Amino acid sequence: MPISESIEKIKARFGAGVSGPVEFRGEVSLTLGDATQIVELCRFAKLQLGFDFLVDLSSVDNYGEDPRWTLVYHLRSMTSGEELRIKTSVSEEKSELPSVLGVWRTVNWHEREIYDMMGIRFTGHPDLRRILMWEGYPYFPLRKDFPLAGKPTDLPGVAFTKPAPLEGGPFVTVAGGGDSMGREPRVRTPED
């Protein structure tokens, strides 16, 4: 099934709940307005449209904006080779959306990683534990307001952390920021 036909079917099924498509370099993105519909949309895409493979699930921290979190689902059809990207947003107060584990079982560890790194919870996930950091680590380190150097923690018998010495780093770049001092500040805080 060509991608344009798949998008027509999604729009016919979900109507104004889905905006887009946005096309960029041959890749097509749809945006789902209501994150609680994500399971329904994913199941429709898998069963009716043949997107039988979830390539990746990632999360974006739009720090300082509302809604803060954007979830990005990369879908692929193993038969036709078509790819589709679905984005949906979740507010910081909620930080929760339904798990699509019932559609693709592969999403188990993806959702655990997002929970571990950004603290977004997936309702209906059977085993929502941390996957990279250890149980009991108090922070979500991939959030924009978490310092790269880390924060001191101590969990006796399990692990400890100390802030890393950055010597004025971490030497980031800023797009379009005037002279070299402006473009390459030694450090950039989330408030900048």
Partner 1 sequence: MQTKSEFGYDSKIEGDVVVTTVDAALNWFRANSVWPMPMGLACCAIELMAAGASRFDISRFGSEVMRFSPRQSDCMIVAGTVTYKMAAVLKRVYDQMPEPKWVIAMGACASTGGMYRSYAVLQGVDNIVPVDIYISGCPPRPEAVLDALIKLQAKIRQQPVLSQLNVLNMLSAPAKS
Does 172 help bind partner 1 (rule: CB under 8 A)? Answer: no
Of the residues 8, 27, 64, 134, which one makes contact with partner 1 according to CB under 8 A: 134
Of 78 and 148, which has the nearer Cβ to partner 1? 148
Does 146 help bind partner 1 (rule: CB under 8 A)? Answer: yes
Q: How far is the CB of 141 from partner 1 (least distance, A)?
A: 5
User: Quick one: three-class SS letters along the chain?
Assistant: CCHHHHHHHHHHHHHHHEEEEEEECCEEEEEECCHHHHHHHHHHHHHCCCCCEEEEEEEEECCCCCCCEEEEEEEECCCCCCEEEEEEEECCCCCEEECCCCCCCCHHHHHHHHHHHHCCEEECCCCCCCCCCCCCCCCCCCCCCCCCCCCCEEECCCEEECCCCCCCCCCCCCCCCCCHHHHCCCCCCCCC
Of 11 and 130, which has the nearer Cβ to partner 1? 130
Residue at 90: amino acid letter: V
Q: How far is the CB of 156 from partner 1 (least distance, A)?
A: 10
Does 160 help bind partner 1 (rule: CB under 8 A)? Answer: yes
Does 186 help bind partner 1 (rule: CB under 8 A)? Answer: no
Of 1 and 149, which has the nearer Cβ to partner 1? 149
Q: How far is the CB of 8 from partner 1 (least distance, A)?
A: 45
Token code pair at residue 51: 């997107």
Of the residues 1, 60, 166, 187, which one makes contact with partner 1 according to CB under 8 A: 166
Of the residues 17, 50, 150, 185, which one makes contact with partner 1 according to CB under 8 A: 150
Q: Which residues sit at the interface with partner 1, rule CB under 8 A? A: 132-134, 141, 146-151, 157-166, 169-170
